Amino acid sequence: MKKLYILFLCSTLAAGMISCGEDGLRTPLEKNSQAPDPVTNVHVENLPGKARISYTVPVQQDLLYVKAVYKLATGRAMEVKASYYENSLLVEGFADEGEHEVTLYAVNRSEKASAPVPVTIRPLEAPIWEVYRSMEVGPAFGGIRVTADNPERSDLAILVMQKNEYGEWDIHPNSIYTATDSIAHTLRDAALDTVDQAFAFTIRDRWLNYTDTLYATIKPLYEVAIPKSGYAGMNLPGDAPHHPSTSMQGMWDGNIIDWPSIYMTQNAHPGIHVITFDIGRLAKLSRIVIWDYPEYFSSGGFGRTYYYLGNLKEFEIWGSDSPPSDGSFDNWHLLGRYNAVKPSGLPFGQQNNEDYQTANAGFSWDFDVAAPKVRYLRIRSTRNWGGTSYMAIAEIQVYGDPR
């Protein structure tokens, strides 16, 4: 019975590139013992942390692919393959600007490799070093702030470390993992007390290359969550009318995703949209977390889509301790002007996993540290992701120092 099953399996693969022996192992279908000619006319384009190698493929009809074999500085053996339809391949993962040897092989359908063709490359500086030089760290309310430029949009990790009870550096579980071009991340943790603390920061790419380590002593700023039990909606003259299926209560009911437990202003209302609400107490505010409403539009296999339609794109937040009843902005203080950015940079209506996870966790918008204490907030939407100005907010949480 086992032999019959193997014969059946092999028959289904007859049109492919492989066949099966008596032991059931896959072997090349073709039996050409003649190795192909090697690639010729090799050229190298050195790039940041990588190199593109172009070549002319041999003319043998049974050629299958060209492969590059090389080692990284970590000792990791690498192999990259390119179809015979292509005339170049990319070797990457290099951490330094020194010379590295790559060996090219042409391989036929019988898995016979050509004579090796050694190629010397000299990659440009790896992207993690530019990110490292641009990195700035400092205090934030409830934690620490890390900013850096990542123009190559490299997939990297900024590892945040603190010393454990034995004096050894441990990586914080909420370190930064991203591929966005403009990194601005606040790491907050209830365990981060408002005292001077030693931190260390290093950057790692997906090939386990590391930069140097940046050491800093940082004192997180005090903040607490302003209880949502005190939040209440307001309606000042000039504020945008709301969608009749929603209410302001939806912004602080604990539900960050379901319709109609959100607050949405009417799309048809012209001009800039403004909403106003009371947080219930006077406080020195540090930030607001806003959960956008994810539309029921499938994008990237996530089922719900952020960075879409009424989600806030360009907006302002204002604060006041005593708002005028006429709806004007007299006695209102600008707490911040914001521009939401999709981490992946993908076109409108598309998102990847980082985009989804970032929005689903809520966008944290920091307030001007020089602003006075306030009790009332206004969100002024100048442009949403759909190109108009109505807003769709699933939930909010305000933070600060009410002492």
Q: What per-residue confidence (pLDDT) applies to 28? A: 54
What letters, b where the CB count within 10 A reaches 16 and e where it falls short, cover 265-285? bebeeeeebbbbbebbeebbb
Q: Kind of pairing, strands 143-149 and 156-163?
A: unpaired
H-run or E-run covering 6: helix 2-12
Q: What per-residue confidence (pLDDT) applies to 2? A: 41
Comparing CA positions, the residue from 137, 142, 140, 141 lying closest to residue 189 is 142
| Per-residue model confidence as pLDDT tens digits over 154-195 | 999 999 999 999 999 999 998 999 998 999 888 988 677 889
Q: What per-residue confidence (pLDDT) applies to 369? A: 82
Q: What per-residue confidence (pLDDT) applies to 370? A: 86
When comparing pLDDT for 327 and 30, which is higher?
A: 327
Q: What per-residue confidence (pLDDT) applies to 27? A: 53
State the Cα–Cα distance between residues 279 and 392, nearest whole angstrom. 19
Domain 40-121: homologous superfamily in CATH: Immunoglobulins (2.60.40.10)
Share of the chain above pLDDT 90, in %: 79
Q: What per-residue confidence (pLDDT) applies to 23? A: 47
Q: What per-residue confidence (pLDDT) applies to 186? A: 87
What letters, b where the CB count within 10 A reaches 16 and e where it falls short, cover 213-234? ebeeebebbebeebebeebebe
Cα 133-139-140 angle, rounded to 5 deg:
115
CATH number at 128-218:
2.60.40
Q: What per-residue confidence (pLDDT) applies to 20? A: 47
Q: What per-residue confidence (pLDDT) applies to 297? A: 80
What letters, b where the CB count within 10 A reaches 16 and e where it falls short, cover 289-309? bbbbbbbeeebeebebbbbbb
In contact, 219 and 196? CB cutoff 8 Å? yes
State the Cα–Cα distance between residues 291 and 271, nearest whole angstrom. 23
Per-chain mean pLDDT for the chain: 90
Q: What per-residue confidence (pLDDT) applies to 258? A: 95
- Which CATH architecture group holds 224-401? Sandwich (2.60)
State the Cα–Cα distance between residues 208 and 125, nearest whole angstrom. 16
Residues of the chain with CATH 2.60.120.260: 224-401
| Per-residue model confidence as pLDDT tens digits over 7-27 | 433 444 344 444 444 444 455
Per-residue pLDDT for 101 more than 50?
yes
State the Cα–Cα distance between residues 12 and 10, nearest whole angstrom. 5
Q: What per-residue confidence (pLDDT) applies to 10? A: 42
Residues of the chain with CATH 2.60.40.10: 40-121
Q: What per-residue confidence (pLDDT) applies to 336? A: 96
| Per-residue model confidence as pLDDT tens digits over 368-400 | 888 999 999 999 999 999 999 999 999 999 999
| Per-residue model confidence as pLDDT tens digits over 271-288 | 999 999 999 999 999 999
One-letter amino acid of 43: H
Query: What does the block give as tokens for 275?
Result: 């909403």
| pLDDT confidence band for 29 (50 / 70 / 90) | low
| pLDDT confidence band for 30 (50 / 70 / 90) | low
One-letter amino acid of 55: Y
| Per-residue model confidence as pLDDT tens digits over 231-254 | 999 999 999 999 999 999 999 999
Cβ neighbourhood burial of 362 (10 Å; 0-12, 13-18, 19+): middle
| pLDDT confidence band for 141 (50 / 70 / 90) | confident
Question: 3-class DSSP state for residue 91?
Answer: strand
Q: What per-residue confidence (pLDDT) applies to 142? A: 84
pTM value?
A: 0.67
- Full DSSP string of 246-258: --GGGGGSS-SS-
Cα torsion 258, 263, 266, 269 to 10°: value is -150
